[in-house]
Amino acid sequence: MTETNGTPLHDLVQSWEEIQDEYDFWAPDGEHDRTVLDCAARLAADPGAGDAYVWVLGLTMMAPCTNRSGVGSRAEAEAALRAADAAQRVRPCDHDTHPYESHEGHHADAALPDLLLRIADERAEWYEQDHTRETWRCPRNVAGFARIALDILRPGEVDDVPPRLSLQDREDIEALEALLELYPKAGTDVADEIASQGGYLYHAEPAERPGRLQVVRAVSWHAVSGMIQDRSVLDRLISGVEKVLPDLAAATCDHAQHPKLSDHSTNAAELGIVLSSPAGRRLYERNPGHYGDGAPLEQLVCPAFMADVARQTLTELRAGRDKLFSPRDTSHLDAEYLRADGLLDIEKITDRLRNVSWNERYADELGLWAARRYDRLGRSEDLGQGLERVRRVRERAVLLLTAHQAMTISYPAPPYAVARDILAIMRTAAAAPRPERCAHTDAHPPLDAGDFRDGMPHFYAPDEFPPAGGAHSVQAWTCARFAGTVAEKCVGALENLYGQDDEDDW
Ligand SMILES: [Zn+2]
Ligand SMILES: [Zn+2]
Ligand SMILES: [Zn+2]
């Protein structure tokens, strides 16, 4: 086994492998830097030496970590690798091929520690089918690996080694995949991560635009799903697409057809990032079937095709932004939820307050309509007299419960535009004065699981509907303390969703 200034090679390789495995979690630390610096110094001392392969492969293993640190060791590593490339690549040899030419990406890097020990030890078993120990040690191969390490350190600068995704691209893919699968990595700011994709497209060079556009397309579904509650996220995605569309719009092509892009957001995002760098596009061309449907690269980035993708993405993003953030008109719902005689269509409302999936489509608008009507009736000086007054008081109790329960049903969550208006009304309701004690002796109608629904038709229109569900007293239904509780619950849920600190913006 090779001795290296007293340290057995085995121990050195072990320390390098630890750094290789850990780069993902690693924050700059002196010990790692010293290990890289030591390896670089050994190579720099004699970059043309016969054992330079040891140090070159060591630096290759540690390159991701060295890249990340951006401090101390990176400049020394680069200088040593450039010197080794210059000294070794000019040596003549009889080999047709060298291992570095087929060394594909970070998966192949994982085999390097074991391989290095076998290359150095003539007595070790040799498993490599395609290349001998000797071709691994060949100066041209050593120079090739020096360039591979440089490619990891400086993506895009070296072009005669197998393409690989940059560390940054791999991390972006992982972060987006996790986010789109709804398990964002710790420390990911979801809104910011999605909005950034719009910024990348906005600033992309022409060659990177097809890839960046496909990433925006992939994240746009998540962005309009209702899970993003920050309007600026959609604004940034939209402005990215708007920026590139005019240049694409004029494009024509004679392709008989264009590829089918994946509708799986994670696959679509990955392919988009792959297409966003020269190395990624070379990678795609080497193995088109690995990503997407295997279409030729030039069809996948065809400007005429991209114009269609941009238009469609823009349409979806704009529609989503309107739906989520534009003020909603609910005046048409009077016809939906009021009867011809002006009374609430209590059966229909009660039915739509059942927490079942098919009611999700009504929930946002019903809730908003009910909250606004509740608010309007409360502001009106004239609640009427006698029977009319009784009817109005009951109606307000029903409307408040309706708004609250509709927000519970809303899926995945009430859009900002809906939540903003309802929250304002509910805050006022929650702040209204309440008596110390209830004026009734029975319990309030049950809020949990919307069980109050059972008794609501009878409470609202006792002449039309028989009593059901515990038959709470009218005083319990119309109790100011009950109303305060309902409003408070609703405020709590909506504030939880959108944060409390931006109250002033609302
Ligand atoms: Zn050779
Ligand atoms: Zn085309
Ligand atoms: Zn009460």
The pLDDT of residue 501 is above 50: no
Whether 240 and 174 share a structural domain: yes
Calculate how far, in angstroms, residue 480's C-alpha sits from the geometric centre of ligand 3: 7
Calculate how far, in angstroms, residue 257's C-alpha sits from the geometric centre of ligand 2: 7
DSSP 216-227: HHHHHHHHTTT-
Under the banding of pLDDT at 50, 70 and 90, the label for residue 17 is: very high
Under the banding of pLDDT at 50, 70 and 90, the label for residue 506 is: very low
The residue segments making up the domain with residue 371 are: 331-505
Nearest ligand to the C-alpha atom of residue 100: 1
Nearest ligand to the C-alpha atom of residue 475: 3
CA–CA gap between residue 241 and residue 49 (Å, rounded) = 53
DSSP 16-78: HHHHHHHTTT----HHHHHHHHHHHHHHHH-TTSTTHHHHHHHHHHHHHHHHHH-STHHHHHH
CA–CA gap between residue 450 and residue 412 (Å, rounded) = 18
Rounded to the nearest angstrom, the gap between the alpha carbon of residue 79 and the centroid of all alpha carbons in its chain is 38
Whether 314 and 366 share a structural domain: no
Whether 379 and 417 share a structural domain: yes
Q: What is the pLDDT of residue 383?
A: 62
> Under DSSP, is residue 4 helix (H, G, I), strand (E, B) or coil?
strand
Number of domains in the chain: 3
Calculate how far, in angstroms, residue 482's C-alpha sits from the geometric centre of ligand 3: 5
Whether 40 and 71 share a structural domain: yes
pLDDT tens digits, one per residue of 361-388: 999 999 999 999 999 998 876 666 677 7
> Under DSSP, is residue 353 helix (H, G, I), strand (E, B) or coil?
coil
Q: What is the pLDDT of residue 162?
A: 94
Higher pLDDT, 265 or 413: 265
Among residues 122, 153, 184, which one ends one of the domains? 153
**pTM for the complete prediction?**
0.77
Angle at 266 between CA 260 and CA 272, to 5 degrees: 60
Calculate how far, in angstroms, residue 259's C-alpha sits from the geometric centre of ligand 2: 9
Q: Work out the average pLDDT over 345-368.
A: 96
Calculate how far, in angstroms, residue 295's C-alpha sits from the geometric centre of ligand 2: 11
Least confident segment among 27-31, 107-111, 306-310, 356-360: 27-31
pLDDT over 70 percentage in the chain: 93
Calculate how far, in angstroms, residue 55's C-alpha sits from the geometric centre of ligand 1: 18
Nearest ligand to the C-alpha atom of residue 94: 1
Nearest ligand to the C-alpha atom of residue 299: 2
Average pLDDT over the chain, rounded to an integer: 91
Calculate how far, in angstroms, residue 444's C-alpha sits from the geometric centre of ligand 3: 6
Nearest ligand to the C-alpha atom of residue 486: 3
Whether 363 and 498 share a structural domain: yes
Least confident segment among 127-131, 305-309, 367-371: 127-131
CA–CA gap between residue 285 and residue 274 (Å, rounded) = 11
Among residues 325, 359, 381, which one ends one of the domains? 325
Q: Note whether residue 103 is domain-resident.
A: yes
Calculate how far, in angstroms, residue 475's C-alpha sits from the geometric centre of ligand 3: 7
Q: Note whether residue 159 is domain-resident.
A: no
User: Using an 8 Å Cβ cutoff, are 160 and 147 in contact?
Assistant: yes
Calculate how far, in angstroms, residue 317's C-alpha sits from the geometric centre of ligand 2: 24
The pLDDT of residue 5 is above 90: no
Nearest ligand to the C-alpha atom of residue 259: 2
CA–CA gap between residue 195 and residue 219 (Å, rounded) = 9
Q: What is the largest CA-CA distance in the chain?
A: 107
pLDDT tens digits, one per residue of 93-107: 999 999 999 998 888
User: Using an 8 Å Cβ cutoff, are 398 and 338 in contact?
Assistant: no
Q: Find tokens 């001392």 and name the residue.
A: 45
Nearest ligand to the C-alpha atom of residue 443: 3
Whether 284 and 395 share a structural domain: no
Calculate how far, in angstroms, residue 249's C-alpha sits from the geometric centre of ligand 2: 12
Q: Work out the average pLDDT over 410-438.
A: 93
Calculate how far, in angstroms, residue 258's C-alpha sits from the geometric centre of ligand 2: 6
Nearest ligand to the C-alpha atom of residue 301: 2
Q: Work out the average pLDDT over 137-157.
A: 94
Calculate how far, in angstroms, residue 47's C-alpha sits from the geometric centre of ligand 3: 86
pLDDT tens digits, one per residue of 474-496: 999 999 999 999 999 999 999 98
Angle at 196 between CA 282 and CA 213, to 5 degrees: 45
Q: Note whether residue 161 is domain-resident.
A: no
Whether 345 and 479 share a structural domain: yes
% helix / strand / coil in the chain, to the nearest 5? 65, 0, 35
Q: CB neighbours (10 Å) of residue 315?
A: 11
Nearest ligand to the C-alpha atom of residue 444: 3
Calculate how far, in angstroms, residue 310's C-alpha sits from the geometric centre of ligand 2: 14
pLDDT tens digits, one per residue of 21-46: 776 555 556 778 888 999 999 999 99
Q: What is the pLDDT of residue 72?
A: 65
Under the banding of pLDDT at 50, 70 and 90, the label for residue 408 is: very high
pLDDT tens digits, one per residue of 433-453: 999 999 999 999 999 888 999
Calculate how far, in angstroms, residue 445's C-alpha sits from the geometric centre of ligand 3: 9
Calculate how far, in angstroms, residue 16's C-alpha sits from the geometric centre of ligand 2: 47
Whether 183 and 122 share a structural domain: no
Calculate how far, in angstroms, residue 64's C-alpha sits from the geometric centre of ligand 1: 26
Q: Note whether residue 215 is domain-resident.
A: yes
Nearest ligand to the C-alpha atom of residue 307: 2
Closest of 349, 330, 331 to residue 339, by C-alpha = 349
Burial status of residue 149 (CB atoms within 10 A of its CB: 0-12, 13-18, 19 or more): buried
DSSP state of 501: T
Calculate how far, in angstroms, residue 218's C-alpha sits from the geometric centre of ligand 3: 50
Q: What is the pLDDT of residue 291?
A: 82
Whether 237 and 129 share a structural domain: no
Angle at 495 between CA 358 and CA 229, to 5 degrees: 65
Calculate how far, in angstroms, residue 73's C-alpha sits from the geometric centre of ligand 1: 30
Calculate how far, in angstroms, residue 269's C-alpha sits from the geometric centre of ligand 2: 21
Nearest ligand to the C-alpha atom of residue 91: 1
Q: Work out the average pLDDT over 390-414.
A: 94
Q: Note whether residue 34 is domain-resident.
A: yes
- Tell me phi and psi for residue 261, to 5 degrees: -80, 145
Whether 417 and 458 share a structural domain: yes
User: Using an 8 Å Cβ cutoff, are 432 and 382 in contact?
Assistant: no
Calculate how far, in angstroms, residue 155's C-alpha sits from the geometric centre of ligand 2: 29
Q: What is the pLDDT of residue 458?
A: 95
pLDDT tens digits, one per residue of 251-293: 999 999 999 999 999 999 999 999 999 999 999 999 888 887 8
Calculate how far, in angstroms, residue 275's C-alpha sits from the geometric centre of ligand 2: 16
Whether 176 and 298 share a structural domain: yes
Q: Which two tokens mark 342? A: 């002006």
pLDDT tens digits, one per residue of 47-82: 999 999 999 999 999 998 876 655 568 899 999 999
Q: Note whether residue 130 is domain-resident.
A: yes
Nearest ligand to the C-alpha atom of residue 248: 2
Calculate how far, in angstroms, residue 471's C-alpha sits from the geometric centre of ligand 3: 14
Calculate how far, in angstroms, residue 255's C-alpha sits from the geometric centre of ligand 2: 5
Q: What is the pLDDT of residue 21?
A: 75
Under the banding of pLDDT at 50, 70 and 90, the label for residue 413 is: confident
Among residues 90, 118, 153, which one ends one of the domains? 153
Whether 200 and 297 share a structural domain: yes
